[in-house]
Amino acid sequence: MTRTPLESLLDQSVRALLTEKGINFGGELPFQRTRKEFQGEVTLVTFPLAKPMGVSPEQAAETLGKALLETNGLIAGYNVVKGFLNIEMSNRYWADQMANMASILDYGKATSKDKPLVMVEYSSPNTNKPLHLGHLRNNFLGWSVAEILAFAGHKTKKVQIINDRGIHICKSMQAWIADGRELSPEDLGMKGDKFVGHFYVEFDKAFKREVADLMAKGISEEKAKEDSPSMVAARDILIKWESEDKDIRALWSKMNSWVYEGFSKTYKRMEVDFDRNYYESETYLIGKEKVLDGLSRGIFYQQEDGSIWVDLETYGMDQKLLLRSDGTAVYMTQDIGTAILRFEDNPSLAYQIYTVGNEQDYHFKVLFIILELLGYSWAKDCYHLSYGMVDLPSGKMKSREGTVVDADDLMEDMVTTAQEKTEELGKLEGMSAEEKSELFELIGLGALKYFLLKVDPKKRMLFDPEESIDLQGNTAPFIQYSHARIKSILKRYEGAKDFDSSKISLEESERQLLVELSYFPVVVDEAATAYSPALVANYIYGLVKGFNQFYQQVPILKDGNGDTVAFRITLIEKVAEVVKNGMGLLGISVPERM
C-alpha cells in the first residue's frame, strides 16, 4: 500500500519508540488523515498498540504523542481523542515537503513501468448499430482505468473485441437484402454505423409484424418467433456465413466497413484509442475448436439435437449452451477463443480486465469457470470490471426499438450546451472562432466524461446533462474553471520561485491544501488497485475545493514577504499540475483560459 511521506516518516519514528520500549510490533501501523474537526494532519489509530504496550488505547496515544513531540523536531503538537493520536506537523516540515513535491516532474506518476502487463478491454461494440450512452460510460471507464494503471507503473494494452458476426449482425443484413434497393450510407446521407443500425431497427419491426400475424393464425408465440420469415432468413444467412458463402461474406464485409468508418469518427471525438482490435470473426473458430476438444475430453456434453453444453450445476449454476445444434457459435464460444488468443499473443500478460456492464455478470462467471475447466491456469487472472447501467429520465435504452441515446448526438448536444452556457458568462472576449470552438468541445465533453466517471463504477447511475455541465459543484466545468483561475494568477506573477523554508508560516487553508496535495500518489495507487477512476475524480474535486478556499482566504500575490509569495506560487502551480494530470487520467483536458 502506498503511503504519504508523512506517514512513512511517522511509521519509522513510532517503531523506533516501540523498539526502545522492547516492543516489536510486526503489524502495519494504521495511519489515516485527521478529521477536519480536530487539529492535525495525520492520525495514528492506537487500538492495535494498546495490548503490546500494556495500556489503554488512550494512554498509548498520549505516551506516543509526548515521546514524538520530544524526539522529532518536525512535530509541532498533538492531541488525543480516545484511541486516536492526532499529529500536527511544523511549518518547516510542510515547506520542505512543498519544495520536494515541486522538484518532482509529473508528481504522483510512477518513475518506471516495473509492474506487470495488464490488458484492459472496453467498448466491444456490435457491428449492427452505432455506439450509445452506455458505450460512452464503458469507453470512458475502460480507457481511464488503463491510463491510471499506466500512471501507477503498469505496462498496459488497450483492446476491444469487435462483435462482427452472429445472428444480430445477420438481422441487419437480412433487412438490407429485404429492402431490395442496395442502398449505401451516402444514398441516405447517413453515418455508416447509423445506416446499418437503421436496418437493424427495420428488421425488428418486420419481425414483430410477422410474429403477430402468425399468432393471429393460432400459432404459439414461441413457434411464431421461430418461424418468422425474417428470422428464418437471418438464420440462413448465419449458416451461409459460417460456411463461407462468397456473396454473403462480401455483403458482410461491405456493411461492416460502413460501420467501422462510423465508429472511427465516434472514437476520435471521444478521444479513446486501442492498441489492438480483436474480431469475433477471427476468434470464434478458436473457441469452437476448444469446445470440441472439451467435448472429446468429457468436460462438455452433447444433446440429441447435436448442440454442445457445459453443466455447471456443481458451481451453483445451470447448463450453458456452447454450440448450437446447427453448429453455429454463440457469444460464449468466441469469448473462449478471444481469451485464449490474448494470452497466447502476450506471454507476459498478468491480468486481463473486461470492462462490461453488470448485466453480463453471469456470463463472465461462466466464462472464467469454463476456461478453468479447460485447464488454463491464467483463468484466475481474468477480471470482470462490472459497472452499473446508465439510466435516463425516460427509462432504459432499447436498441432494437431505435430509442437509444446515440453517442454522437449526445456529445454534440453537450458541446452545444457548453457553448450556450459559456456565452452567457460573456468571458470570450479576444478569443478567435477556432479557440472558442475548441473551448466548447473541451467543456462539453469534459462535463460528460467527468459525470460518468465520478460515480463508483459498480453503481447504476442516472445521467443528467444539465447537472453535469453546471459551473458549481462536483463537475468538470467547475474544476476546469478553477484550473483556468490558477493559470491566470500564475501569468500575473513575474518574481522568483525560490523560497526559504525556515521563513514560511502557513495559514490553515494553505496547510490543508498541502495535505491534500500530498495524497495524490496514494489516490492514484488506490484507483489503480480498485480499477476506479471515481477515486481520482473525487480527489481532484476535493483538491480544487481546497484551492478555492485558500484563494478566498489568502492574498496569494499581495503578501509583502517574498518567500511567502514564492511559496504560494509554487503551491498553486503544483496544484494546477496535479489537476491537469488527474483530469488527464479521466480523458479530460483543462483550459488555460475560461
Q: Residue written as cell 427509462?
A: 395
CB 570 within 8 A of CB 497: yes
Tell whether the model's pLDDT for residue 66 goes beyond 80: yes
CB 112 within 8 A of CB 152: no
416 & 378 share domain? no
3-state helix, strand, coil in the chain (%, to 5): 60, 15, 30
Tell whether the model's pLDDT for residue 92 goes beyond 60: yes
523 & 435 share domain? yes
φ, ψ of residue 308 in degrees (nearest 5): -115, 135
Residue 82 maps to a domain? yes
45 & 137 share domain? no
Tell whether the model's pLDDT for residue 241 goes beyond 60: yes
For residues 470 and 587, the model is more confident at 587
Tell whether the model's pLDDT for residue 253 goes beyond 90: yes
Residue 298 maps to a domain? no
Instruction: For residue 380, count CB atoms less than 10 angstroms from its CB and return exposed for 0-12, middle for 13-18, buried for 19 or more.
Output: exposed
Distance from first CA to last CA of the chain, Å, rounded? 38
Residue 300 maps to a domain? no
29 & 166 share domain? no
Distance separating alpha carbons of residues 569 and 567, to the nearest angstrom: 5
Banded model confidence at residue 1, pLDDT cuts 50, 70, 90: low
Q: What is the mean pLDDT of residues 126-142?
A: 95
Banded model confidence at residue 558, pLDDT cuts 50, 70, 90: confident
pLDDT for res 399: 42
* Predicted confidence (pLDDT) per residue in 313-332, tens digit: 999 999 999 999 988 889 99
Distance separating alpha carbons of residues 32 and 352, to the nearest angstrom: 32
Q: Which of 378, 401, 424 is the last residue of a domain?
A: 401
545 & 439 share domain? yes
507 & 436 share domain? yes
Task: Give the CATH number, domain containing residue 422.
Answer: 1.10.730.10
Residue 111 maps to a domain? no
Q: What is the mean pLDDT of residues 542-556?
A: 96
Please, what is the average pLDDT of the chain? 94
Q: Is 246 helix (H, G, I), strand (E, B) or coil?
A: helix
Distance separating alpha carbons of residues 569 and 572, to the nearest angstrom: 5
Q: What percent of the chain has pLDDT over 90?
A: 88
392 & 437 share domain? no
132 & 221 share domain? yes
pLDDT for res 285: 94
Residue 309 maps to a domain? no
* Predicted confidence (pLDDT) per residue in 52-65, tens digit: 999 999 999 999 99
Question: H-helix or E-strand containing 545?
Answer: helix 533-553
Q: Which amino acid is at 285?
A: L
* Predicted confidence (pLDDT) per residue in 166-207, tens digit: 999 999 999 999 999 999 999 999 999 999 999 999 999 999
Residue 261 maps to a domain? yes
Distance separating alpha carbons of residues 142 and 136, to the nearest angstrom: 10
377 & 461 share domain? no
For residues 390 and 577, the model is more confident at 577
Task: Give the CATH number, domain containing residue 41.
Answer: 3.30.1360.70
Residue 363 maps to a domain? yes
Q: Which amino acid is at 129?
A: K
Q: Which of 371, 401, 431 is the last residue of a domain?
A: 401
φ, ψ of residue 309 in degrees (nearest 5): -135, 165
Burial 294-331 (b: 16+ CB within 10 A, else e): bbeeebbeeeeeebbbbebeeeeeeebebbbeeebbbb
424 & 568 share domain? yes
CB 272 within 8 A of CB 453: no
CB atoms within 10 A of CB 220: 11
* Predicted confidence (pLDDT) per residue in 332-346, tens digit: 999 999 999 999 999
Distance separating alpha carbons of residues 580 and 428, to the nearest angstrom: 22
Domain count for the chain:
3
pLDDT for res 354: 98
* Predicted confidence (pLDDT) per residue in 484-536, tens digit: 999 999 999 988 889 999 999 999 999 999 999 999 999 999 999 999 999 99
Task: Give the CATH number, domain containing residue 383.
Answer: 3.40.50.620
CB atoms within 10 A of CB 492: 9
The strand pairing partners of 86, in sequence order, are 43, 79
* Predicted confidence (pLDDT) per residue in 385-429, tens digit: 999 988 876 654 444 444 568 999 999 999 999 999 888 887 788
The angle subtended at Cα 410 by Cα 407 and Cα 416, nearest 5°, is 140
pLDDT for res 417: 92
Structural domain span for residue 504:
407-585
457 & 415 share domain? yes
Residue 345 maps to a domain? no
Q: Which amino acid is at 258?
A: W
Q: What percent of the chain has pLDDT over 70?
A: 98
Q: What is the mean pLDDT of residues 452-467?
A: 91
219 & 266 share domain? yes
The strand pairing partners of 416, in sequence order, are none
pLDDT for res 336: 98
Report which DSSP code applies to 132. Answer: B
